């Protein structure tokens, strides 16, 4: 086909050149813009790391900033090509509304994740109880929080219900009180029993000296005097102190000759 034939078909070479320049400009803007976005994200990440931002919050904010900047860059590139950005923004808004209505639960989880990151009721490594689950926080993601239970199970909790519900954070203050109940026979001397139990607690190096352990009569039960035994421990040592204190109290009472009552069954036979 001859060159004249192209002109005969109405090909507007000026228009093609104009579009070619716009596309080339859009490509250049995309390359430079992508480089700038990476630099900004990297710089913000480094600044947050330097200022010791909590790792979950840092990752959340960095990812959010990255996608916002990429969205702005896409709009600029489309505007360079000649796409009407106002119409494009309207389309995005309409699509966003439709997606939002379809994904109300996911958006609620996203908002819950943002609230957790901002107000920090929990952080990675905390032992918490929430939504009927007890475990250590392994990861706080945008939509979910992942726990590991004491029996090594993985639990995934949506951030929406997590942020709106009650959370017990056992690690927030760094110390936990261990609540035990020890019963002894009614003929036991109360002061001696307290001294024996206190010695059993203080001999355990994992029992904290401050706050000091407490021992008090908590109940006069049917067949025993019950003592509330309250040692304190760090979060990491809680179960060691719990089980260790029970064992130490039993051994100490045995050595002191203090009886721990147990149910007795009496059998009555009637001679016929």
Residues 204, 241: contact at Cβ < 8 Å? yes
What is the span of the domain harbouring residue 45?
A: 13-119
**Residue 151 lies inside a defined structural domain of this protein:** yes
**Residue 271 lies inside a defined structural domain of this protein:** no
159 and 179 both lie in a single domain: no
Query: Is-above-0.85 flag for pTM?
Result: no
- The better pLDDT of the pair 93, 79 is held by 79
Phi/psi of residue 82, nearest 5 degrees: 125, 5
pLDDT tens column, 43-73:
888 887 887 776 766 777 777 788 788 888 8
**Residue 27 lies inside a defined structural domain of this protein:** yes
pLDDT band for position 91 (cuts 50, 70, 90): low
203 and 221 both lie in a single domain: yes
139 and 192 both lie in a single domain: no
| Residue 157, pLDDT score | 94
CATH of the domain at 28: 1.10.287.1260
Count of domains observed in the chain: 3
Considering Cα of 146, then 147, then 151, then 152, what sign does the dihedral take?
A: positive
| Residue 262, pLDDT score | 74
- The better pLDDT of the pair 205, 268 is held by 205
34 and 86 both lie in a single domain: yes
CATH of the domain at 232: 3.30.70.100
Distance CA(77)–CA(27), nearest Å, equals 8
Mean pLDDT of 98-127: 74
CATH of the domain at 139: 2.30.30.60
Residue 248 has pLDDT above 70, yes or no: yes
Considering Cα of 255, then 257, then 259, then 265, what sign does the dihedral take?
A: positive
Distance CA(84)–CA(200), nearest Å, equals 79
Give CA separation, 260 vs 78, 182, 215, 217, in Å. 81, 8, 16, 15
160 and 182 both lie in a single domain: no
22 and 52 both lie in a single domain: yes
């Amino acid at each position: 086909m001859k060159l004249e034939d192209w002109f005969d078909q109405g090909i507007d070479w000026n228009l093609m050149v104009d579009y070619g320049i716009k596309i080339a400009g859009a490509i250049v803007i995309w390359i430079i813009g992508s480089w700038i976005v990476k630099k900004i994200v990297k710089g913000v990440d480094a600044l947050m790391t330097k200022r010791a931002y909590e790792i979950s919050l840092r990752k959340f904010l960095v990812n959010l900033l990255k996608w916002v900047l990429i969205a702005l860059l896409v709009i600029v590139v489309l505007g360079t090509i000649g796409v009407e950005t106002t119409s494009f923004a309207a389309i995005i808004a309409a699509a966003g509304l439709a997606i939002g209505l379809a994904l109300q639960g996911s958006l609620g989880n996203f908002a819950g994740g943002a609230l957790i990151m901002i107000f920090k009721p929990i952080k990675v490594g905390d032992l918490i109880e929430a939504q009927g689950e007890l475990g250590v926080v392994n990861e706080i993601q945008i939509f979910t929080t992942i726990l590991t239970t004491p029996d090594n199970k993985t639990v995934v909790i949506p951030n929406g219900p997590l942020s709106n519900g009650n959370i017990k954070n056992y690690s927030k203050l760094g110390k936990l009180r261990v609540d035990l109940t020890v019963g002894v026979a009614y003929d036991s001397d109360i002061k001696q029993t307290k001294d024996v139990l206190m010695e059993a607690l203080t001999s355990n190096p994992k029992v904290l000296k401050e706050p000091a352990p407490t021992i008090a009569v908590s109940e006069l039960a049917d067949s025993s005097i019950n003592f509330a035994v309250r040692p304190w421990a760090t979060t990491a040592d809680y179960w060691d102190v719990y089980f260790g204190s029970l064992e130490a109290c039993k051994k100490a009472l045995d050595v002191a000759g203090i009886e721990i009552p147990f149910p007795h069954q009496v059998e009555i036979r009637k001679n016929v």
